[in-house]
Amino acid sequence: MDSLRIRILTDGKNLGNGILKVDGFINHQVDPTLMNECGRELARRFGRAGATKVLTAEISGIAPAFCTALALGVPIVYARKQKPITMPDQIFLTLAPSHTKGREVELIVSPEYLGRDERVLIVDDFLASGQTILGLARLAKAAGATIVGIGAVIEKTFEGGREVLKPLGVPIEALALITDMSEGKIVLAE
């Protein structure tokens, strides 16, 4: 996706320690045209997977997951990081380390919205260490759902997340692959 690659190279910032700042167009301020394009592309890549739900993590995964779900014509469910009082007592909960927060975060889904007969496509803004997506996979499995694929807007290949997720045995797609962020660079795969 050329438009995504251009935005990463022109507006993305390498903050060091593997942190890529793209919050001006992906996950704080969102470029809706770009996210719509990303969602349509992920939906195209996973169109034959038969997803009945798209699952993501609050908050930065919501924009790309929403656009993907819209293109697929299925609901989006996002794992919350705090349990609201409106959620039932019985929940699906797991912990996942957050690279940008520097601590573990809770991921919580209500069984009202994720169940046994679901075919789940997991979508997130980043695939880095794979730990957040692995946490989402644990939630889907706890619900008895079938995971049909994993999609990410940006993958930092040097963090090894794809290898962590391979045992899930599902297709993994990323729209932009960053291969190096050493010495202040942002290097994208061709």
* CATH number of 62's domain: 3.40.50.2020
- Looking at residue 100, its pLDDT comes to 67
Q: Contact 151/42 with Cβ under 8 angstroms?
A: yes
Residue 54, pLDDT > 70, answer yes
Smallest CA-to-CA distance from 103 within 77, 142, 132 is with 132
Tokens for 41?
């592309």
* Residue 51 parent element (H or E): none
Grade residue 85 by pLDDT with cuts at 50, 70 and 90. confident
Specify whether the backbone of 102 is left (phi greater than 0), alpha (psi in -120 to 50) or beta: left
Instruction: Please state the pTM of the whole predicted model.
Output: 0.95
> How many domains is the chain built from?
1
Q: Contact 67/36 with Cβ under 8 angstroms?
A: yes
- Structural domain including 32 reads 2-188
Distance CA 79, CA 77 (A): 7
Grade residue 89 by pLDDT with cuts at 50, 70 and 90. confident
Sign of the Cα pseudo-torsion (24, 12, 163, 97, in order): negative
Of all residues in the chain, the percent with pLDDT exceeding 90 is 85
Tokens for 161?
């997340």
- Looking at residue 156, its pLDDT comes to 97
Chain mean position to CA 61: 5
The β-bridge relationship of strands 76-79 and 146-156 is unpaired
Residue 1, pLDDT > 80, answer yes
Smallest CA-to-CA distance from 93 within 136, 148, 150 is with 136
Distance CA 82, CA 85 (A): 10
Distance CA 173, CA 161 (A): 12
